[in-house]
Amino acid sequence: MASERSYSPFDHLIANFDQALRTLFGRPDTTGRPDPSAAEPEGELSEADRLESARLMRINHTGEVCAQALYQGQALTAKLEAVRENMERAAREENDHLVWCEQRIEQLGGHTSYLNPFFYSGAFAIGAAAGAVGDKWSLGFVGETEKQVIAHLDGHLQRLSPNDRRSRAVLEQMRVDEAQHGHTAMAAGGAPLPGPIRLAMKLSSKVMTGTTYWV
């Protein structure tokens, strides 16, 4: 029986480069779950409501681009194989969100953010740094990230028109998944992050949401 191939750091780097291209310009590898909005009827939206939905979904799409970068960066530098595998599995589930958001943006007549390559690069560097510091901090970073993402999703669900049931279905499923990812990370040994780090994460998130709403 042939032994399982051992991947070198260079192999992982190439794989991450391929993942970046798929995330930004191609078709990412997903779990194959159906789009939760497919069963919902297209509601009657005013032009203002449609524009607002497209902008909010663009923010969430860029958030998923950043999530991909964070997970891939952390997987690249994770010390334990089990942690690396968890990061890669979560990344595939986040790819579902990426595809769902992009499809919804297209349905609303919007476009994804032109700043995605910039945010991907920054998030990948942050993820790699978090993984290099240590697995417990890397996992804690995931837990805190998902906590903040859920807060954003809750805010967007309140801002969406009640008639936009398709966008709402996507965000509600994303919320369920993000909560699970955060719980899994902390249960695997994640450490709570210091207050200044949490604050810095919130400030960087505000930069992302504030720019991608418009661009």
- Provide the annotated binding site for Fe cation: 64, 94, 97, 146, 178, 181
Query: Could you give the CA distance from residue 88 to residue 68 in angstroms, rounded to a whole number?
Result: 9
Query: Could you give the CA distance from residue 124 to residue 209 in angstroms, rounded to a whole number?
Result: 18
SS (H, E, C) 164-203: CHHHHHHHHHHHHHHHHHHHHHHHCCCCCCCHHHHHHHHH
What is the per-residue DSSP string for 56-110?
Answer: HHHHHHHHHHHHHHHHHHHHHH-SSHHHHHHHHHHHHHHHHHHHHHHHHHHHTT-
- Name residues whose C-beta falls within 8 Å of residue 27's C-beta, 6 or more positions apart in sequence: 99
Query: Could you give the CA distance from residue 111 to residue 98 in angstroms, rounded to a whole number?
Result: 13
Residue ranges at the known binding site: 64, 94, 97, 146, 178, 181
Query: Could you give the CA distance from residue 86 to residue 75 in angstroms, rounded to a whole number?
Result: 8
Q: For residue 129, what are the CA distances in angstroms to 78, 121, 169?
A: 10, 12, 34
Query: Could you give the CA distance from residue 24 to residue 190 in angstroms, rounded to a whole number?
Result: 29
